[in-house]
Amino acid sequence: MLVEIRGAGDIATGVALRLHRAGCDIVMCDLAVPTSIRRTVSFSEAIRLGSCEVEDVRAVRAKDVEDARKIVVSEEVAVLVDPGGSSAAELVPDALVDAILAKKNLGTTPDMAPVVIGVGPGFTAGRDCHAVVETKRGHYLGQAIYEGSAAPNTGIPGVIAGHSADRVLRAPADGIFEPRLAIGDVVRAGQVAAVVSGVPMTCTINGVLRGLLQEGVEVTCGMKSGDIDPRCERAHCFTSSDKARAVGGGVLEALCHLTGGLRA
């Protein structure tokens, strides 16, 4: 089964890992200059570096759709620069998953593939897609929804070890992002994680730096640019999160349900 995934950040990558290990061929699409924060667990890094690995699964940048087809034959994940998802018409996937996490639908329609699954807020099953998967932390995280929508976006990050919005680092000004620390570094509140236009972006809490934008990205003031995990488990920086795994499981369930994939 060939699955195209719109987005290649950490949640989309968690989905890709689940589907890849279940035997699907995966083609992912993202921006020419990705803005994934959790870069060590995002297949979007293949766009920047040419290839990358997450949990022993390798992703390779594809030049075009034909190149993507060749990459998936090698049991690797193909990553295309295609933010608009126009490649779906040529690729003709068996299923399409919108995991951009834009909190709104950026153009995905139910006729883009036989099965279309939306991840998170902004999609309504039966209108924009055939199923929606819940992304809000809590009791319903990872639930496959076949009628209706996921919980609306609150703008407040989920709570981890008692911390919510304060674990997110945001650009202090418009300009070019200049990191001063690296993903995996143990940090303390007040420590400078990056500089933008001469203005320091300081760590908000103690913990481990789980996500940080790459050097040279153009950012706007207030743009999400880093993430601190207060649990301070460095290994968590290099493996897919519980949330990404749960969402990936929900997508896999919806895919099996809608295609009859496990029926004899």
- Nearest alpha carbon to residue 95 among 24, 42, 30: 24
Cβ atoms 242, 138 nearer than 8 A = no
State both tokens at 19.
Answer: 């589907």
Q: Which secondary structure element, helix H or strand E, spans residue 89, and what is its range?
A: helix 87-91
Helical pair 10-21 and 242-259, crossing angle rounded to 10 deg: 50
Q: How far apart are CA 154 and CA 165, in angstroms?
A: 11
The residue-averaged pLDDT of 38-64 equals 97
pLDDT digits (tens, 9 = 90+) for 7-46: 999 999 999 999 999 999 999 999 999 999 999 999 999 9
- Quote the pTM value: 0.93
Fold of the 2-153+242-259 domain: Rossmann fold (3.40.50)
Residue % of the chain over a pLDDT of 70:
98
CATH top-level class for 165-230?
mainly beta
Location of each CATH 2.40.50.100 domain in the chain: 165-230
| Distance between first and last Cα of the chain | 17
Q: How far apart are CA 37 and CA 227, in angstroms?
A: 7
